[in-house]
Amino acid sequence: MLIRSRRAHDIATAEITPESTYLRRREILATALTGVATLAFGGARDARGATTPKPPELGPIIESPYSASEEPTSYDSVTQYNNFYEFGTAKEDPAVQAASFQPKPWSVLLKGRLKKPGSVPLETFLEGHALEERIYRFRCVETWSMVVPWVGIPLGDILKRFEPDEDAKFVEFRTLYDPERMPGQKRQTLEWPYREGLRMDEAMHPLTILAVGLYGRELPNQNGAPLRLIVPWKYGFKSIKSITEIRLRTRAPQTTWSEMAPNEYGFFANVNPEVDHPRWSQKRERRLGDFLRRPTSKFNGYADEVASLYAGMDLSKDY
C-alpha cells in the first residue's frame, strides 16, 4: 500500500517540518533529480528558451501521510508540459502564454446548497487550514503521467466550513472566465468557462485536495494558479485549474469535456486501464522523463482507498 491512513489532523506539531529544513530538503531533491544546478533555485527555461522566474516559496508545510513513495517528476517537466486551453492548445503553450497572468487578488464564490454561501477572498478561504505536501501520481487522459509534490488542503475540510445542506449531492467547479486575462477564451476551442464536477462523496474523500502549490512553491500560472483541484484517482481533466466558483448541487453538473465529446469523456473519468478511450488504449502510460511505457493501474493505483465508492457500478458504462 502506498498510502497510510493516518489523518492529517493527527499529525503532532513537532512533525511539521520547519521551513528552512523543508526548503533545504527540496533544494537537495531538485538538484539530485535533475542533476542541473540551475534548476535548484535559479528559475527554469521554458520550451521556447525564455526564463520564467519560479513562484514564491510557500510555508510552513506539513508532510502528508497520504503521499506516494515514488520519485517526483522533475519541476521542469511538471511546469512545461501542460494542458490549459485558456492559454493555448499545445502542451508548451501554457508556460509561455500564462507567464503574465496575475492570479492575485483572487476570490472564490461558494454557492448553491450550503448554509454559508458567499464570495470569499482566497486568503480567507484558506485561513485556518494547514498546507500539506502530498506526492501524488497524476495521470492525464492522453497517455502520459507524472508524480507531483502538490501542496494543498483537503477539499472536504474546506467545504465543511461552509456547511453543505443534506441535499447537496454534487459539487460543480468553474474556472475564471476573463478572455482578456485568459486569451485562449477568445477562441471557441471549448465552451467557456471550463467546468468540472464531483459527486459529494468523491469531493469529501481525503485524497481530494485543492492545491495552491507544487514543489514547495505557489502554483505556477500554467499549473492553475492560484487554486486548482487534484483528484489523483481520476484522469487529469477532472483536476480543474484557476477555480473561481464552487457550487453545491442536488443534480450532477454538466462538465466541459463530457459535454464536448460524451462518447470519449464521462462524468466519472476514473483511471481505468480496462476501458479504452475510443481513439487510444488506456492500458499503458509514459511517465514524463521515462523512455519506456509502464502498465497503468486501476484508479491510478489508489484502488484500496477509493474502489468502494463505486461498488455495484459498471465502470465500463459509468466511465
CB of 175 to ligand MTE, least distance (A): 4
CB-wise, 164 or 266, nearer to ligand MTE?
A: 266
CB of 35 closer than 8 Å to CB of 76 = no
What does the alpha-carbon distance between residue 52 and residue 209 come to, in Å, rounded to a whole number? 26
Q: Which residues pair with 164 in a beta bridge?
A: 114
Closest CA to 313 of 212, 184, 199: 199
Q: Is 144 in the site for ligand MTE (CB under 6 A)?
A: no
- Which of 239, 244, 272, 300 lies at the binding interface for ligand MTE (CB under 6 A)? 239
What does the alpha-carbon distance between residue 203 and residue 64 come to, in Å, rounded to a whole number? 18
Binding region for ligand MTE (CB under 6 A) out of 17-25, 48-56, 64-72, 235-243: 235-243
Q: Is 220 in the site for ligand MTE (CB under 6 A)?
A: no
Q: Is 223 in the site for ligand MTE (CB under 6 A)?
A: yes
Q: Is 185 in the site for ligand MTE (CB under 6 A)?
A: no
- Which of 240, 246, 248, 269 lies at the binding interface for ligand MTE (CB under 6 A)? 240
- Which of 84, 170, 265, 302 lies at the binding interface for ligand MTE (CB under 6 A)? 84
Closest CA to 282 of 314, 308, 315: 315
Closest CA to 212 of 173, 234, 243, 237: 243
What does the alpha-carbon distance between residue 170 and residue 21 come to, in Å, rounded to a whole number? 40
Residue nearest to ligand MTE (CB): 236
CB-wise, 82 or 296, nearer to ligand MTE?
A: 82
CB-wise, 161 or 283, nearer to ligand MTE?
A: 283
CB of 191 closer than 8 Å to CB of 259 = yes
Q: Is 215 in the site for ligand MTE (CB under 6 A)?
A: no
Site for ligand MTE in 161-180 (CB under 6 A): 175
CB-wise, 67 or 79, nearer to ligand MTE?
A: 79
* Cell representation of residue 129: 487550514
Count of CA atoms in the C-beta half-sphere (13 A) of 174: 18
Whose cell is 502554483? That residue is 219
Contacting positions for ligand MTE (CB under 6 A): 82-86, 140, 175, 194, 223, 236-237, 239-242
